[in-house]
Structure 1
């Protein structure tokens, strides 16, 4: 029996990209009662995840495995369509929550913003090639300055996508989701979400 939750359905093939402690994937799995149609990935190796997030990530990974989720680690958004576990697969929803290129400089600096934009561009390019005909690519992102300087919509349009909807995001919508910094000495700390939206994109018609 199909179960729907927020923007997602248990009948959709869902790819989750850049998971931190895998709590977002775990939330969806619990709401659906199954994660059999889900693939959840991280840039970090499994060993690095355990070092960063300790027991929390172990619990989430175990729960997802029990629900049938495919778990992949060391998946880079720039090259993910060539990953052995993802090659030749198409998805109905591809999701990247709060993409971030790491803390090499201040969030306000031009160089840091360009790093973030390059990450998102790479994600869009890869995801475009992995999307089913009626599928959507989602990015949840802060909408206040300086994060609005990333120009998410323009980046998507440059790779042949168009904005379907910008939906208000609240972390309260996803019970158990812990938004982690993911980088640096405080990688296991949560960050303030503030004003954020889930941007939904689809392929432009030829």
Structure 2
């Protein structure tokens, strides 16, 4: 019988989808904790070559994941992933998107137009992710909670997509050895950014079929 191995909210018994990976260090952290990545699908928006150009550390991380039998897909858009040819038939217990970001189009994170772009990224992600969950699955979004990032209204966006907040827990980067949060855009795309106050928002999807049980 397989032994369960855990790191924070994640278990090797979970089928896990990781969305918008930077240098794949978060995926690699989980895989090392589990001793295997057969339960994981790790994705990036960029193609493999661009990932390695942006993040020199990604090459070694990808090789580690491959050795641990992780499924890796590149060029996966959070707004269309539920119709992706290789993902559309899969269901997941945990779908994880750490520090989603639309890219830098307007000056400053305080800019309302920039905030709206970030919100659209999350809206599209939530709409797709909810259709990819197992019955008891959860969607995890880790996000800064101090101003101006609080203006994204992550919980409200989840509710708009038919999700409900299961739990909001403080995120500590050092709980994930080897994880480096990358910018992924701008002049210093491989740079990290101060995490500051942030939390992991855990959402679930209450389907109509489940509602009928309680009617």
**Fold similarity call, TM over 0.5:** yes
Report the counterpart of residue 139 of structure 2 in structure 1: 137
How far did residue 203 of structure 1 move?
1.0
Report the counterpart of residue 98 of structure 2 in structure 1: 97
How far did residue 123 of structure 1 move?
0.5
Report the counterpart of residue 186 of structure 1 in structure 2: 188
Give the secondary-structure state (helix, strand or coil) at the position aligned to 2:186: coil
Report the counterpart of residue 37 of structure 2 in structure 1: 35
Stretches of structure 1 that go unaligned for 5 or more consecutive residues are: none
Using the alignment, how far apart are the partners of 2:13 and 2:196 within structure 1? Answer: 31
How far did residue 95 of structure 1 move?
0.2
Residue pairs, 1:28-67, within 5 angstroms: 28-54=30-56, 56-67=57-68
Report the counterpart of residue 127 of structure 2 in structure 1: 125
TM-score by length of 2: 0.94
Using the alignment, how far apart are the partners of 1:85 and 1:144 within structure 2? Answer: 37
Q: Deviations over 1:119-172 (max 9, x none)?
A: 001000000000011000000000000100000001001111100000100111
Stretches of structure 2 that go unaligned for 5 or more consecutive residues are: none
Report the counterpart of residue 178 of structure 2 in structure 1: 176
Residue pairs, 1:155-166, within 5 angstroms: 155-166=157-168
Kindly name which structure, 1 or 2, has the bigger radius of gyration based on alpha carbons: 2
| Mapped pair 1:83 → 2:65 | no
More off after superposition, 78-87 vs 192-201? 78-87
Give the secondary-structure state (helix, strand or coil) at the position aligned to 1:156: helix
Aligned-pair RMSD on alpha carbons? 0.7
Using the alignment, how far apart are the partners of 2:63 and 2:85 within structure 1? Answer: 22
Q: Count the aligned residue pairs.
A: 205
Give the secondary-structure state (helix, strand or coil) at the position aligned to 2:65: helix
How far did residue 9 of structure 1 move?
0.5
Using the alignment, how far apart are the partners of 2:171 and 2:178 within structure 1? Answer: 15
Using the alignment, how far apart are the partners of 1:150 and 1:85 within structure 2? Answer: 31
